[in-house]
């Protein structure tokens, strides 16, 4: 008898710890009615200026190309390195070249298929535009070009803008801008090219002899 009672108590003992506090806790469920708040709704509106985690855009220049005062920035918010320019070239060829062409002249493939031609990046106005101008256009869109903010992260927008400047410089570079060492390299390259084009000694004579032989 005693053993039976003891076994029964052991079986019931764990049940003594089972309560409904967790299930019946005082909690709010979204979209449920509530008499706690004056409007009778459980869901609370977000406080003003609430920012989602990871979405704090406190650097206006980085995200939009514009300063807090609304001025276009001309200096990238990161160092301009070879890696940045290579990344900019790669992203430019993916997102920009279909319209603007790989040379930035506005003769991209879809333009050749009838799409309206964009202004060449080598236009004087665009050559004199700050880098922030291109970043802002990619962010907000311009004319027929939609916003690419969803496709191109801010850092890549700056990389692309920096590469556009490379294209502009390549198209409009002046020999006078080179330092003496680079000028020497250029002169040597031109000399080698001219020598390669020049006929080798005896070539004309051999050609004439062959011509005379074929005439007979």
Residue 212 has pLDDT above 80, yes or no: no
Q: Which two tokens stand for residue 75?
A: 């200096």
Of residues 171, 170, 109, 99, the one with CA closest to residue 137: 99
Instruction: Give the count of beta carbons closer than 10 Å to the beta carbon of residue 2.
Output: 6
Residue 213 has pLDDT above 70, yes or no: no
| pLDDT recorded at residue 215 | 47
Residue 14 has pLDDT above 80, yes or no: no
Residue 129 has pLDDT above 60, yes or no: yes
Q: 99 near 109, Cβ under 8 Å?
A: no
| pLDDT recorded at residue 206 | 54
> Which domains, ranges and CATH numbers included, belong to the chain?
60-172 (1.10.760.10)
Mean pLDDT over each residue of the chain, to the nearest integer: 85
Query: HSE-up of 45 (CA within 13 Å, CB side)?
Result: 5
What's the pLDDT tens digit per position in 58-94?
Answer: 899 999 999 989 999 999 999 999 999 999 999 999 9
What's the pLDDT tens digit per position in 166-206?
Answer: 999 988 877 777 788 888 888 898 888 888 887 766 555 55
Residue 161 has pLDDT above 90, yes or no: yes
Q: What's the Cα-to-Cα distance from 61 to each of 115, 128, 135, 203, rounded to whole Å? A: 31, 19, 9, 63
Which residue has tokens 């003594």? Answer: 16
Segment 145-153 mean pLDDT: 95
Segment 88-102 mean pLDDT: 97
| pLDDT recorded at residue 44 | 82
Which residue has tokens 């004087």? Answer: 124
Q: Which two tokens stand for residue 36?
A: 């706690």
pLDDT band (50, 70, 90) for residue 2:
low
Residue 21 has pLDDT above 70, yes or no: no
What's the pLDDT tens digit per position in 44-66?
Answer: 888 888 888 877 888 999 999 99
């Amino acid at each position: 008898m005693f053993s039976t009672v003891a076994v029964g108590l052991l079986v019931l003992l764990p049940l003594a710890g089972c309560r409904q506090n967790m299930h019946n806790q005082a909690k709010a469920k979204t979209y449920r009615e509530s008499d706690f708040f004056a409007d009778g709704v459980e869901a609370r509106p977000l406080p003003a200026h609430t920012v989602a985690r990871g979405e704090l855009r406190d650097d206006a220049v980085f995200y939009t190309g514009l300063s807090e005062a609304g001025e276009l920035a001309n200096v990238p918010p990161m160092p301009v390195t070879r890696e940045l320019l290579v990344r900019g070239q790669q992203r430019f060829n993916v997102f920009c070249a279909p319209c603007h062409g790989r040379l930035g002249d506005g003769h991209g493939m879809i333009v050749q298929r009838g799409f309206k031609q964009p202004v060449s990046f080598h236009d004087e106005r665009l050559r004199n535009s700050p880098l922030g101008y291109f970043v802002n256009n990619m962010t907000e869109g311009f004319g027929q070009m939609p916003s690419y903010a969803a496709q191109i992260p801010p850092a890549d927008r700056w990389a692309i803008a920096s590469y556009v400047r490379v294209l502009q410089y390549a198209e409009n570079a002046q020999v006078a801008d080179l330092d003496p060492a680079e000028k020497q390299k250029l002169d040597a390259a031109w000399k080698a090219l001219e020598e390669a084009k020049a006929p080798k000694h005896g070539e004309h004579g051999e050609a004439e002899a062959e011509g005379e032989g074929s005439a007979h």
